[in-house]
Amino acid sequence: ASQGAAMSAGTDGVAKIDTNLYSRQIGTFGMETMGKLIQMKVLISGLRGLGAEAAKNLILAGPAAVILHDDGPVETRDLGSNFYLAEADVGKQSRAQACVKQLAELNPYVAVSVHTGAITEEFLSGMSCAVFLGASQGDLLRYNEMCRVRSPPVGFVAADALGVAASVFVDFGDVFTVRDKDGEECRNAIVAGITTENPGVVHTHEGRRHGFQDGDWVTFSELQGITELNGSAPRQIKVTGPYSFTIEDTSGLSAYLREGIVSQVKVPTPTTFISYRQALVQPLPDGEDMLAVPDLAKIGRSEQLHIAVQAVQLYQEQNGQLPLVRDDAAAAACVKLAQELNESRKKDAKALSLEEVDADVVKKVALFARCSISPMCAFLGGIVAQEVVKFTGKYTPLHQALYFDMFELVPSPLPADWKPLGSRYDDQVAILGKSFQDRLANMKVFLVGAGALGCEYLKCFAMMGVGCGSGGQVTVTDMDNIEISNLNRQFLFRKSDVGQAKSHTAARAAKAMNSELKITAMEVRVGGDTEDTFDDNFWIGLDAVVNALDNIQARNYVDSRCVWFAKPLLESGTLGTKANVQVVLPHLTQSYGDSQDPPEESIPLCTLKHFPHAIEHTIEWARDFFEQLFADSPREVNTFLSDPAAYLAKLPSEGTGTSQLQKMNGIRRMLDQRTGPFDMCVKFGVLEFQDKFHDSIAQLLHTFPLDHRTSEGTNFWSGPKRAPTPIKFDVTDVVHLDFVMGAANLYAANLGIPQCRDRDAVARMAAGVPLAAFTPKELSIKVDDKDTTKEGCVDDDEKARALIKEMAALGASLAAAKPLDTAEFEKDDDSNFQISFIAAGANLRARNYKITEVDFLKVKMTAGKIIPAIATTTAMVTGLVGCELLKVVDLSTRKVEDFKNAFVNLALPLWLLSEPMPPMKTVSKDWDPIIQGPVRVKPEGFTSWHKVEVNKGDITLKEFIDYLQDDVGVEVMIMSAGNACLYNAYLPAHKKRLAERVSKLWEDVTKQKLSPKKTYLTIEVSASDPDDGVDIMIPTIKFQFR
């Protein structure tokens, strides 16, 4: 493949990117960055585990070419982290030659090749960016000089995975321009006022926080008064509150009157870099005051690692090789080198030096410097590939060094059973020991999801040896099938797999990486309705659960099961360049369900219907419009056809007369036009255009003229209410024709009429559609969501009653009519006219309201609720989770502070690792605002991990209540199981339930049969103290009836 293959020539000769393959990535990077990325040529030198990870992530991202370089022969231990090497390659091929074929298969648009022999200045001159992994210090100094002397410079990225320690260094030349420091969407706000003083204070509308930050750049538009600011150059701001910020001196400007929009803009920022040679002495460029601190518990660790890594590099320069694994003498020599290096640095006022070298840090780097373990390689591989992408100018590059360690993994004392066995796991065993490896191999792990995260986890399991022993087992489940858009980041899948089940395909690919992997693939949803499949014995038998999910509901359910069965859960998620890790440990940490994200902001209905002021409003409106026209309308027709009399009898109780008329007119129109020619569908599209973008807007302006005033005497059209303008249909306007093309073809699909994709033909048909002049009606319209006005036309109720009678006769004559086809929304098929219709509708409505229009991809991402996703973030976060999984193996001997939650944003870049929070405790209160009185807790301080176990067999409700009073000390007032109320002491009718067996009562109340596999019920009670009547809270009850 060549660079040109990444694109196909568009009709206008402009290169066209494969937006189906790259859709989620474009949602993160944007088209400008993708355009730059597909022209890059990148060298990756060094192909142990870290090289394979970085190459895989980068090839998925889609540069023009990736050149691999590693002449070292494949060793058995390489199979523990490079997932594209096989036992047959050991000693027979170089690492680069052995993995080039499989890396090339990841993306047909990227030319993947191998370079052998020396790396020369001439060879490097053809690269955009060069990545050196595991290279010696001498080589790095030489390569960095070669990259810097080019004009423009070749981007230089160096990294090393030294067992449980790591370093990354980035140098993009003396001055590099960052186009977009964080990748966040530009925000805008409605101006409510601007003062004329020094500095000028800008106040924004209090309907929504402006969301700006100190140092952001903004521009102004649509201001009435202080018009000097309209369209002027971007200016930097200082935030003074959620609805205000300051700009420069405005005292000499005219006074602000009304209106105005303030918009954030991205201003290119020059960034200076120092060379690798300078950074060895002082890694902090000008303006930086400390090295990145990825782990808040390790302040000062990065500085220690800076010296420790260099000491190991110096040992390599002096001895021709890295220290041997677990060589105490070599480690001691490295400590001495570190101390000597530090003393020499102390003499240089500009150098970074330490008060004292931490010998333990140096030893942990030196003892395992030759080891390559999968979690560290995955973590670093994501970072390295993302830094290469940043050479496009998107996001803030690492400035310039990152040091990181996973020292918590190292046992104390070091294991005695560490000697190499000629196994793929030798590097991991050197750190953790053979008996540990056996326990890891015999783990039973449940992986929920086989998408982007799931693919990376399965690779990690295969490399680490999880579930690879005789007693081990990995179970993976995912209901989805593979789609084209998955291939950009779900790296176990190929184009030939499209349409196949994700779980089975991923399991097969992971087993190909390590034939010892014991894996069962399923296509079963994990939820309350599948508890017969994932039953108690299944959960009880697990050692750990790893979530690879993309929705909150499923995460909460899996979390609730892990809490109930006291199983460790490793939770993670990504959003573009952002990622998080949460470690959930029985009785030691919060569960996932203990904390909830705030709900998403919803758009008020009136804003959508009449008063949009942001493109998101018009996209949501167009998405609803699509659903209403091509899904709801044909569905209404089919409901009507199935039983006209019942449909018409129910209709008067639904909505207003206006909405009833719309429904019936729509049904009648679709039934009348079922056999019509395609030009009738075009007429439908033109008339919908006229109605929505001309007549409805003209009607709104008739009801609320431009000079309309509110009851308080203020301008009605101000602030978030933007005065609209009707649009006249013009067949020569591309967006107008896009709308009609989409509407006509989607309508034809509903009716079963052959579609027409010939734009010229559709344009000719559309030009011949006569349009009636607009006649205003007397309409009632809500001005906001609190308005109680009944919307609609005054005489529509009467018209609706008359039309119901007509429709009854029509229904009787169509008893055997064939149902219509209903549109099913499919966001990933650009040829089905759905997103085209929504994009045209959204932009036409934006044009009505003078909102900036957007491209097709922005509409696709927003309307399809597509979550931006990239391979780099996914790989990086699974590396962190892989490290936590290794800790779970020895959970019983671990301290909670050994474990790490994480929040990462690769765009900034930012890493925040922290100790998991302890579980939330339920405590007694003297006054509870909900109960309006005191609350007592039994046992005091219980958490979600606690439960009351009642193991008395299938007793009656009375026996159960008596047991709770006598043994637990609570008087039951209300008892429930899920949504079913089993008993309410305040209801006399419930007294007769006391004689029922609890299991039979559950079946009677829920009208469900208990599964033969079910041995207990989960019961909640509202109770009080038998002595003084104070409300008592107790944990959930596990009622064991079998």
Residues with catalytic roles: 606
Residue 594 DSSP class? G
Q: For residues 61 and 103, give the distance between their C-alpha atoms in angstroms, rounded to a whole number.
A: 12
- The residues with which 1016 forms a beta bridge, in sequence order, are 1040
Pairing verdict, β 41-45 and 65-69: parallel
Do residues 70 and 94 lie in contact, with contact meaning Cβ atoms separated by under 8 Å? yes
Residue 810's nearest CA partner among 1034, 1004, 641 is 641
Q: Phi/psi of residue 714, each to 5°?
A: -90, 160
Distinct helix (H) and strand (E) counts, the chain = 32, 38
DSSP string, 13-48: S-EEE-HHHHHHHHHHH-HHHHHHHTT-EEEEE--S
CA angle 523, 526, 532 (to 5 degrees): 90
Neighbours of 620 (CB within 10 A): 20
- The residues with which 971 forms a beta bridge, in sequence order, are 1024
Q: Phi/psi of residue 763, each to 5°?
A: -60, -40
Q: For residues 242 and 211, give the distance between their C-alpha atoms in angstroms, rounded to a whole number.
A: 7
Q: For residues 652 and 308, give the distance between their C-alpha atoms in angstroms, rounded to a whole number.
A: 79
Q: For residues 419 and 437, give the distance between their C-alpha atoms in angstroms, rounded to a whole number.
A: 12
Do residues 420 and 430 lie in contact, with contact meaning Cβ atoms separated by under 8 Å? yes
Which position has the token pair 């790893």? 546
Q: For residues 410 and 415, give the distance between their C-alpha atoms in angstroms, rounded to a whole number.
A: 9
Do residues 176 and 353 lie in contact, with contact meaning Cβ atoms separated by under 8 Å? no
Show Cβ contacts of residue 5 under 8 Å, excluding neighbours closer than 6 positions. 108, 109, 111
Q: For residues 86 and 503, give the distance between their C-alpha atoms in angstroms, rounded to a whole number.
A: 23
Give the burial string for 823-851 (b: 16+ CB within 10 Å, else e): beeebbebebbbbbbbbbbbbbbbbbbeb
Do residues 566 and 945 lie in contact, with contact meaning Cβ atoms separated by under 8 Å? yes
Residue 915, token pair as written in the block: 């100790």
Residue 66's nearest CA partner among 31, 109, 9 is 109
Which position has the token pair 């989409």? 742
DSSP string, 141-158: HHHHHHHHHSSSPPEEEE
Q: For residues 769 and 660, give the distance between their C-alpha atoms in angstroms, rounded to a whole number.
A: 27
Residue 330, token pair as written in the block: 């070599």
For residue 789, which amino acid is it?
T
Q: Which strand ranges, in their side-by-side order, compose the sheet holding 401-405?
A: 111-114, 65-69, 41-45, 129-133, 155-162, 165-171, 401-405
Q: Phi/psi of residue 992, each to 5°?
A: -70, -15
Q: CA dihedral in degrees (334, 335, 339, 344; nearest 10)? A: 10
Do residues 649 and 804 lie in contact, with contact meaning Cβ atoms separated by under 8 Å? no
Which position has the token pair 């670093």? 380
Q: CA dihedral in degrees (370, 375, 377, 381; nearest 10)? A: -170
Do residues 617 and 605 lie in contact, with contact meaning Cβ atoms separated by under 8 Å? no
Q: For residues 1001 and 1011, give the distance between their C-alpha atoms in angstroms, rounded to a whole number.
A: 15
Residue 477 DSSP class? E
Show Cβ contacts of residue 798 under 8 Å, excluding neighbours closer than 6 positions. 657
